[in-house]
Structure 1
C-alpha cells in the first residue's frame, strides 16, 4: 500500500496577490505545493506553497512566473556570478597597460 503525501495548501492574501501585475485574473484561494522539473539538471522538485506565498506576496514577483531551477542549480549559478564579479573587481584594480591607447578601437 503506497501512501501519497497530502497536498499542503496556504491561504492567499488577496490584497497582496498580483500587486505588481496589470491583470484581470482573480486570485486563487490557496497556494498548493507544485511539482516541477529543473530546467538545468532535470531533477524533480517541489515548489512549496509557503515559498510561492513569499515569492508572489512578499517579493511581489509577477504572477506568471514560477520555479524553474532546483536549489543546487540556483546555488551553482549564484556561485558563478559571484566568481565573475570577484574577477571583474580584481581586473579593475590592475594597473593599466602602458600602451593602452594602442589597444583601443579607433
Structure 2
C-alpha cells in the first residue's frame, strides 16, 4: 500500500509527463514540420474519445507513418500503411491503442471462420427452439 505522499508524487510525475507531451505537440504544430512522403496528418477531432491518461505516439506526433508488423497467424512481415491507419482510427473509430495484427488474407480467413461459427451456433439455437415448440 502506498502512502498519500507517494501517490501524490506519482500523480505529479504523470502530470509533468502529459505537459511535456502537450508541449512537444504544440511545438510541432507551431513549426509545421514537413511530413514524410508516406505520412498523413491526424485529425484529432475525428478520433474516438477515450478516458486514457495519455495520447498514443502517433496522435502526439500529429501524423501517421507506415508501420511494419508481423502477422500473428502466418508470421508474414506486413506493412500497415498510414492511409489504412487514418481510416481505422478516424473513419472506423478504432480504439487508439489498437494496431494491425493480421495480414489481409489472414483477416479474410478469420472473418470466414467467425461467420461459419456464428452460422453453426444460430443453427443450433434454431434447432433447440424447434425442439421446445414441438415436444
Instruction: Determine if the TM-score, normalized by the shorter chain, exceeds 0.5.
Output: yes
Report the secondary structure of 1:27's partner residue.
Answer: helix
- TM-score, normalised via structure 2 length: 0.58
CA RMSD after TM alignment: 2.4
Report the secondary structure of 2:86's partner residue.
Answer: helix
Query: 2:61 aligned with 1:28, yes or no?
Result: yes
How many aligned positions are there? Answer: 93
Query: 2:104 aligned with 1:71, yes or no?
Result: yes
1:96 corresponding residue in structure 2: 131
**1:20-56 CA deviation, whole Å, 9 max, x = no partner?**
3423336222101111110111011110101111111
Structure 1 segments, 4+ long, off by >4 Å, are: none
Whether the aligned pair in 2 keeps the contact of 1:20 and 1:61 (CA below 8 Å) is no
**Alpha carbons of 1:48 and 1:21: their partners in 2 closer, same or farther (altered >3 Å)?**
farther
- TM-score, normalised via structure 1 length: 0.72
Structure with more relative contact order (C-alpha pairs < 8 Å, separation 6 or more): 1
Aligned mate of 2:70, from 29, 33, 37: 37
Query: Structure 2: any 5+ residue segments left out of the alignment?
Result: 1-35
Query: Structure 1: any 5+ residue segments left out of the alignment?
Result: 1-5, 101-106
